[in-house]
Amino acid sequence: MSNALYSLLALSDTERQRRGVQYTAAEIAGQVDLWPTTLERFIALLPQLRPFLQDFLRQTRKCVILTGAGTSEYVGLCVEGLLRRLWGLPVNTVSTTALVARPQDFFVPAHATLLVSLARSGSSPESLGAVRIAEGLPDPVYHLLLTANPSGELAQAAPGLKRACLLALDERTNDRSLAMTGAFSNLVLAGQMLAQAFSFEEYSRLFPRIVEGGRTLLDRAADPLATLCRSDFDRAVFLGDGAHFGTAVESRLKLQELSAGRIMCAYDTFPGVRHGPEAVIHEHTLIGAFLSEDPFARRYELDLLEELRRKKIGQAVLAVADRLGEAESLADVGLEYDPEGKLRVPAEYAPPIQVLAGQLTGLFKCLQLGLKPDNPSAAGIIHRVVEGVKVYDPWAFRGRGRFEILAQR
Residues 6+ apart with CB under 8 A from 338: 213, 216, 322, 323, 344, 345
Question: Across the strands, what pairs with 267?
Answer: 238
Q: Note the pLDDT tens digit of each residue in 54-101.
A: 999 999 999 999 999 999 999 999 999 999 999 999 999 999 999 999
248, 294: one domain: yes
What's residue 407's pLDDT? 76
CATH number, domain of 122, equals 3.40.50.10490
What's residue 402's pLDDT? 76
> In this structure, is residue 141 part of a structural domain?
yes
Backbone angle region of 122, left / alpha / beta, with phi > 0 → left and psi within -120 to 50 → alpha: left
Task: Look up the pTM and report it.
Answer: 0.95
Helices (H), 293-393: 295-311, 351-368
241, 349: one domain: yes
> In this structure, is residue 207 part of a structural domain?
no
% of residues, the chain, pLDDT over 70: 97
> In this structure, is residue 42 part of a structural domain?
yes
> In this structure, is residue 254 part of a structural domain?
yes
172, 236: one domain: no
Are 84 and 90 a contacting pair, CB within 8 Å? yes
135, 37: one domain: yes
Q: Note the pLDDT tens digit of each residue in 14-47.
A: 999 999 999 999 999 999 999 999 999 999 999 9
What's residue 282's pLDDT? 95
What's residue 395's pLDDT? 73
Distance between CA 133 and CA 125 in Å, rounded? 12
Q: How many domains does the chain have?
A: 2
CA 40 to chain centre: 21
For the chain, state the CA radius of gyration: 21
What's residue 124's pLDDT? 85
Tell me which residue range forms the domain holding 146.
Answer: 24-198
What's residue 403's pLDDT? 79
Q: Note the pLDDT tens digit of each residue in 137-166.
A: 999 999 999 999 999 999 999 999 999 999
E strand or H helix at 216: helix 200-228
Distance between CA 261 and CA 316 in Å, rounded? 20
End-to-end CA distance of the chain: give it in Å, rounded.
Answer: 43
185, 53: one domain: yes
- The per-residue pLDDT of the chain, averaged, comes to 94
> In this structure, is residue 73 part of a structural domain?
yes
129, 190: one domain: yes
> In this structure, is residue 395 part of a structural domain?
no
> In this structure, is residue 404 part of a structural domain?
no
169, 109: one domain: yes
